[in-house]
Structure 1
Amino acid sequence: MRKILIVLTSLLLTACVDDSASYYADGSTGNHALTLHRAQKHFWSSDSKVELIMQRLPDCLRRVELTEMPADEVEIELLSNGDNVWTLRAGKEQWQVETQTCTQYPDVKGSEGELIGVFRVEDKKLVFEAAVLEPAK
Protein backbone atom coordinates (compact mmCIF):
# COMPACT_ATOMS: atom_id res chain seq x y z
CA MET A 1 0.00 0.00 0.00
CA ARG A 2 2.83 2.40 0.88
CA LYS A 3 4.50 1.88 -2.51
CA ILE A 4 1.25 2.70 -4.31
CA LEU A 5 0.88 5.95 -2.34
CA ILE A 6 4.45 6.97 -3.17
CA VAL A 7 3.89 6.35 -6.88
CA LEU A 8 0.55 8.18 -6.89
CA THR A 9 1.98 11.15 -4.99
CA SER A 10 4.81 11.55 -7.48
CA LEU A 11 2.34 11.38 -10.38
CA LEU A 12 0.15 14.07 -8.83
CA LEU A 13 3.09 16.40 -8.25
CA THR A 14 4.32 16.12 -11.85
CA ALA A 15 1.13 17.73 -13.14
CA CYS A 16 1.86 21.02 -11.36
CA VAL A 17 3.45 23.98 -13.13
CA ASP A 18 6.18 26.03 -11.43
CA ASP A 19 8.62 27.81 -13.72
CA SER A 20 9.95 31.19 -14.72
CA ALA A 21 11.54 33.14 -17.56
CA SER A 22 13.70 36.27 -17.44
CA TYR A 23 14.49 39.37 -19.45
CA TYR A 24 17.95 40.77 -18.68
CA ALA A 25 17.84 44.55 -19.08
CA ASP A 26 21.60 44.84 -18.66
CA GLY A 27 22.59 42.07 -21.06
CA SER A 28 23.51 38.84 -19.31
CA THR A 29 24.96 39.83 -15.92
CA GLY A 30 21.62 39.35 -14.17
CA ASN A 31 22.02 42.49 -12.06
CA HIS A 32 19.04 44.13 -13.78
CA ALA A 33 16.34 41.64 -14.70
CA LEU A 34 12.59 41.18 -14.89
CA THR A 35 11.51 37.61 -14.21
CA LEU A 36 8.00 36.28 -14.72
CA HIS A 37 7.08 33.33 -12.48
CA ARG A 38 4.01 31.12 -12.85
CA ALA A 39 2.95 28.58 -10.27
CA GLN A 40 -0.03 26.23 -10.29
CA LYS A 41 -1.21 25.77 -6.71
CA HIS A 42 -3.10 22.49 -7.21
CA PHE A 43 -2.71 19.85 -9.90
CA TRP A 44 -6.47 19.83 -10.55
CA SER A 45 -6.59 23.57 -11.19
CA SER A 46 -5.95 24.96 -14.67
CA ASP A 47 -5.07 28.40 -13.28
CA SER A 48 -1.65 29.56 -12.22
CA LYS A 49 -0.54 32.50 -10.11
CA VAL A 50 1.65 34.88 -12.13
CA GLU A 51 4.21 37.07 -10.37
CA LEU A 52 6.91 39.48 -11.45
CA ILE A 53 10.28 39.49 -9.75
CA MET A 54 12.09 42.72 -10.49
CA GLN A 55 15.71 43.25 -9.63
CA ARG A 56 18.32 45.92 -10.16
CA LEU A 57 21.04 44.96 -7.76
CA PRO A 58 22.01 46.07 -5.21
CA ASP A 59 19.17 48.61 -4.88
CA CYS A 60 16.08 46.70 -5.98
CA LEU A 61 14.72 43.21 -5.43
CA ARG A 62 10.96 42.77 -5.16
CA ARG A 63 8.22 40.26 -5.96
CA VAL A 64 4.89 41.59 -7.24
CA GLU A 65 1.75 39.48 -7.69
CA LEU A 66 0.18 40.25 -11.05
CA THR A 67 -2.77 37.96 -11.76
CA GLU A 68 -4.12 34.44 -12.09
CA MET A 69 -4.60 32.95 -15.54
CA PRO A 70 -4.76 29.53 -17.19
CA ALA A 71 -1.30 27.98 -16.88
CA ASP A 72 -1.13 27.07 -20.58
CA GLU A 73 -2.29 30.51 -21.74
CA VAL A 74 0.22 32.79 -20.01
CA GLU A 75 1.20 35.48 -22.51
CA ILE A 76 2.39 38.82 -21.18
CA GLU A 77 4.02 41.56 -23.23
CA LEU A 78 6.93 43.54 -21.79
CA LEU A 79 7.29 47.18 -22.84
CA SER A 80 9.99 49.69 -21.94
CA ASN A 81 8.99 53.24 -21.09
CA GLY A 82 12.59 54.36 -20.51
CA ASP A 83 14.20 55.44 -17.22
CA ASN A 84 13.79 51.92 -15.76
CA VAL A 85 9.99 52.07 -16.13
CA TRP A 86 8.38 48.90 -17.52
CA THR A 87 4.82 48.06 -18.55
CA LEU A 88 3.48 44.52 -18.64
CA ARG A 89 0.32 43.80 -20.60
CA ALA A 90 -1.92 40.73 -20.83
CA GLY A 91 -5.00 41.51 -22.90
CA LYS A 92 -6.77 44.40 -21.15
CA GLU A 93 -4.80 44.02 -17.91
CA GLN A 94 -1.73 46.22 -17.48
CA TRP A 95 0.85 46.72 -14.74
CA GLN A 96 3.64 49.26 -14.54
CA VAL A 97 6.77 48.95 -12.44
CA GLU A 98 9.91 50.97 -11.97
CA THR A 99 13.21 49.31 -11.08
CA GLN A 100 15.04 52.48 -9.97
CA THR A 101 13.12 52.59 -6.67
CA CYS A 102 11.54 49.10 -6.91
CA THR A 103 8.01 50.46 -7.18
CA GLN A 104 4.77 49.17 -8.68
CA TYR A 105 2.57 52.04 -9.83
CA PRO A 106 -1.11 51.84 -8.85
CA ASP A 107 -2.11 52.90 -12.38
CA VAL A 108 -0.34 52.75 -15.74
CA LYS A 109 1.02 56.22 -16.52
CA GLY A 110 1.96 57.67 -19.90
CA SER A 111 2.38 55.83 -23.17
CA GLU A 112 2.73 52.07 -23.31
CA GLY A 113 6.34 52.24 -24.48
CA GLU A 114 8.46 50.16 -26.83
CA LEU A 115 7.76 46.43 -27.10
CA ILE A 116 10.76 44.51 -25.74
CA GLY A 117 9.33 41.01 -25.96
CA VAL A 118 6.72 38.55 -24.76
CA PHE A 119 6.64 36.04 -21.92
CA ARG A 120 4.72 33.02 -23.21
CA VAL A 121 4.34 29.26 -22.89
CA GLU A 122 6.11 27.18 -25.53
CA ASP A 123 6.26 23.39 -25.29
CA LYS A 124 4.69 23.63 -21.79
CA LYS A 125 7.57 25.85 -20.57
CA LEU A 126 7.52 29.57 -19.83
CA VAL A 127 9.98 31.46 -22.05
CA PHE A 128 10.85 35.07 -22.90
CA GLU A 129 10.81 35.80 -26.61
CA ALA A 130 12.54 39.05 -27.57
CA ALA A 131 10.73 41.33 -30.03
CA VAL A 132 12.21 41.61 -33.49
CA LEU A 133 13.12 45.23 -33.94
CA GLU A 134 13.17 46.47 -37.52
CA PRO A 135 16.12 48.68 -38.48
CA ALA A 136 15.40 52.37 -39.08
CA LYS A 137 15.15 53.29 -42.76
Structure 2
Amino acid sequence: MRHRALLLAVLSAPLLTACVNDGATYEIDNTREHVLSLIREQPYFWDNKVNLSLVVSRMPACMRRHSLGAGTPNTKVEVWQVESGAFIVKVGNKRMYATETQNCVNFAKIEGDPEGGMGELRGTFRVKKGELVFEKAEGETDDKAAQ
Protein backbone atom coordinates (compact mmCIF):
# COMPACT_ATOMS: atom_id res chain seq x y z
CA MET A 1 0.00 0.00 0.00
CA ARG A 2 2.79 2.39 0.91
CA HIS A 3 4.58 1.69 -2.37
CA ARG A 4 1.44 2.56 -4.36
CA ALA A 5 1.17 5.95 -2.65
CA LEU A 6 4.84 6.66 -3.33
CA LEU A 7 4.49 5.54 -6.96
CA LEU A 8 1.40 7.72 -7.42
CA ALA A 9 3.23 10.75 -5.98
CA VAL A 10 6.22 10.21 -8.27
CA LEU A 11 4.06 9.75 -11.37
CA SER A 12 1.92 12.82 -10.66
CA ALA A 13 4.87 15.16 -10.03
CA PRO A 14 5.36 16.05 -13.74
CA LEU A 15 1.70 17.05 -13.98
CA LEU A 16 2.05 19.51 -11.13
CA THR A 17 5.14 21.16 -12.57
CA ALA A 18 3.07 22.50 -15.49
CA CYS A 19 1.20 24.89 -13.18
CA VAL A 20 2.09 28.58 -13.22
CA ASN A 21 2.45 30.26 -9.84
CA ASP A 22 4.81 33.22 -9.93
CA GLY A 23 5.13 36.98 -9.93
CA ALA A 24 7.26 39.93 -10.93
CA THR A 25 7.65 43.44 -9.53
CA TYR A 26 7.98 46.98 -10.87
CA GLU A 27 9.89 49.10 -8.34
CA ILE A 28 8.37 52.55 -8.83
CA ASP A 29 11.01 54.62 -7.07
CA ASN A 30 13.80 52.04 -7.10
CA THR A 31 12.87 50.68 -3.68
CA ARG A 32 11.03 47.57 -2.59
CA GLU A 33 8.68 49.77 -0.56
CA HIS A 34 6.84 51.38 -3.51
CA VAL A 35 5.88 48.75 -6.08
CA LEU A 36 3.36 47.23 -8.46
CA SER A 37 3.57 43.43 -8.56
CA LEU A 38 1.87 41.07 -10.98
CA ILE A 39 0.96 37.62 -9.66
CA ARG A 40 -0.04 34.70 -11.90
CA GLU A 41 -1.76 31.63 -10.49
CA GLN A 42 -2.88 28.63 -12.53
CA PRO A 43 -5.34 26.63 -10.42
CA TYR A 44 -5.50 23.59 -12.76
CA PHE A 45 -2.61 22.22 -14.81
CA TRP A 46 -4.97 21.08 -17.58
CA ASP A 47 -6.46 24.57 -18.03
CA ASN A 48 -4.45 27.15 -19.98
CA LYS A 49 -5.98 30.01 -17.96
CA VAL A 50 -4.19 31.85 -15.18
CA ASN A 51 -5.65 34.20 -12.60
CA LEU A 52 -3.91 37.57 -12.71
CA SER A 53 -3.65 39.84 -9.68
CA LEU A 54 -2.01 43.22 -9.16
CA VAL A 55 -0.51 44.04 -5.78
CA VAL A 56 -0.26 47.80 -5.24
CA SER A 57 2.08 48.73 -2.40
CA ARG A 58 3.58 51.84 -0.83
CA MET A 59 4.93 50.72 2.51
CA PRO A 60 4.26 51.28 5.31
CA ALA A 61 1.10 53.18 4.31
CA CYS A 62 -0.71 50.60 2.20
CA MET A 63 -0.80 47.32 0.34
CA ARG A 64 -3.73 45.90 -1.67
CA ARG A 65 -4.27 42.98 -4.00
CA HIS A 66 -6.67 43.55 -6.93
CA SER A 67 -7.95 40.96 -9.42
CA LEU A 68 -7.19 41.55 -13.09
CA GLY A 69 -9.28 38.55 -14.14
CA ALA A 70 -8.11 35.60 -16.20
CA GLY A 71 -5.47 35.46 -18.89
CA THR A 72 -3.11 32.95 -20.46
CA PRO A 73 0.38 32.18 -19.15
CA ASN A 74 1.74 34.50 -21.88
CA THR A 75 -0.62 37.47 -21.39
CA LYS A 76 1.35 40.74 -21.45
CA VAL A 77 0.45 43.41 -18.91
CA GLU A 78 1.53 47.01 -19.61
CA VAL A 79 1.97 49.68 -16.94
CA TRP A 80 1.33 53.31 -17.90
CA GLN A 81 1.56 56.35 -15.63
CA VAL A 82 -0.61 59.42 -16.09
CA GLU A 83 0.31 62.96 -15.08
CA SER A 84 -1.53 62.75 -11.74
CA GLY A 85 0.72 59.84 -10.68
CA ALA A 86 -1.99 57.19 -11.09
CA PHE A 87 -1.32 54.07 -13.13
CA ILE A 88 -3.20 52.49 -16.01
CA VAL A 89 -2.70 48.74 -16.23
CA LYS A 90 -3.48 47.22 -19.63
CA VAL A 91 -4.08 43.46 -19.64
CA GLY A 92 -3.61 41.93 -23.09
CA ASN A 93 -5.12 44.05 -25.85
CA LYS A 94 -8.46 45.00 -24.32
CA ARG A 95 -8.86 45.22 -20.55
CA MET A 96 -7.63 48.29 -18.69
CA TYR A 97 -7.67 49.25 -15.02
CA ALA A 98 -6.73 52.42 -13.13
CA THR A 99 -5.03 52.36 -9.74
CA GLU A 100 -2.91 54.57 -7.50
CA THR A 101 -0.41 54.18 -4.69
CA GLN A 102 -1.44 57.02 -2.37
CA ASN A 103 -3.81 54.81 -0.37
CA CYS A 104 -3.86 51.69 -2.63
CA VAL A 105 -7.67 51.51 -2.42
CA ASN A 106 -8.73 53.13 -5.69
CA PHE A 107 -8.99 50.51 -8.40
CA ALA A 108 -11.41 50.63 -11.33
CA LYS A 109 -11.95 49.02 -14.70
CA ILE A 110 -11.69 51.50 -17.57
CA GLU A 111 -14.14 51.24 -20.45
CA GLY A 112 -12.93 52.73 -23.73
CA ASP A 113 -10.01 55.13 -24.08
CA PRO A 114 -8.96 56.89 -20.85
CA GLU A 115 -9.68 60.62 -20.60
CA GLY A 116 -6.41 62.47 -21.00
CA GLY A 117 -4.72 59.53 -22.73
CA MET A 118 -2.65 56.64 -21.44
CA GLY A 119 0.24 58.70 -20.09
CA GLU A 120 3.80 57.36 -20.29
CA LEU A 121 4.59 53.68 -20.71
CA ARG A 122 6.68 52.56 -17.71
CA GLY A 123 7.12 48.98 -18.84
CA THR A 124 5.60 45.57 -19.46
CA PHE A 125 5.19 42.38 -17.47
CA ARG A 126 5.93 39.52 -19.88
CA VAL A 127 7.27 35.99 -19.99
CA LYS A 128 10.92 35.81 -21.00
CA LYS A 129 12.73 32.46 -21.16
CA GLY A 130 9.86 30.87 -19.26
CA GLU A 131 9.98 33.38 -16.41
CA LEU A 132 7.70 36.34 -15.64
CA VAL A 133 9.71 39.59 -15.65
CA PHE A 134 9.09 43.32 -15.72
CA GLU A 135 10.81 45.04 -18.63
CA LYS A 136 11.16 48.80 -18.33
CA ALA A 137 10.05 50.83 -21.32
CA GLU A 138 12.73 52.05 -23.68
CA GLY A 139 14.30 55.20 -22.25
CA GLU A 140 12.78 54.56 -18.82
CA THR A 141 15.16 55.20 -15.91
CA ASP A 142 14.74 54.76 -12.17
CA ASP A 143 14.80 58.54 -11.60
CA LYS A 144 12.11 59.13 -14.23
CA ALA A 145 9.72 56.63 -12.59
CA ALA A 146 10.12 58.08 -9.08
CA GLN A 147 7.22 60.06 -7.69
Q: TM-score, normalised by structure 1?
A: 0.89
Q: How do 1:15-34 and structure 2 match up within 5 A?
A: 15-27=18-30, 29-34=31-36
Secondary structure of the corresponding residue to residue 82 of structure 2: strand
Maintained 8 Å contact 1:84/1:100: no
Cα deviation, residue 105, structure 1: 2.7
Please say if residues 96 and 109 of structure 2, whose CA atoms lie closer than 8 Å, have aligned partners that are also in contact: no
Mapping for residues 87-102 of structure 1, pairs under 5 Å: 87-89=88-90, 90-102=92-104
Query: Structure 1: how far apart are the matches of 2:130 and 2:81?
Result: 27
TM-score by length of 2: 0.83
CA distance in structure 1 between the partners assigned to 2:44 and 2:132 by the alignment: 18
Mean Cα displacement is larger for which, 4-13 or 53-62?
Answer: 4-13
Counting matched residue pairs gives: 132
1:17-96 mapped onto 2 (5 Å cutoff): 17-27=20-30, 29-71=31-73, 73-89=74-90, 90-96=92-98
Greater strand fraction, Structure 1 or Structure 2 = 1
Identity %: 36
Question: In the alignment, residue 104 of structure 1 is paired with which amino acid?
Answer: F
The unaligned stretches of length 5 or more in structure 1 are none
Paired residue for 1:127, among 129, 133, 136?
133
Separation in structure 1 between the aligned mates of residue 83 and residue 62 of structure 2, nearest angstrom: 17
Stretches of 4+ aligned residues off by more than 4 angstroms: none
Superposed CA RMSD in Å reads 1.5
Query: 1:106 deviation in Å?
Result: 4.3
Matching residue's letter, 2:18: A
Deviation at 1:133, TM superposition (A): 1.7
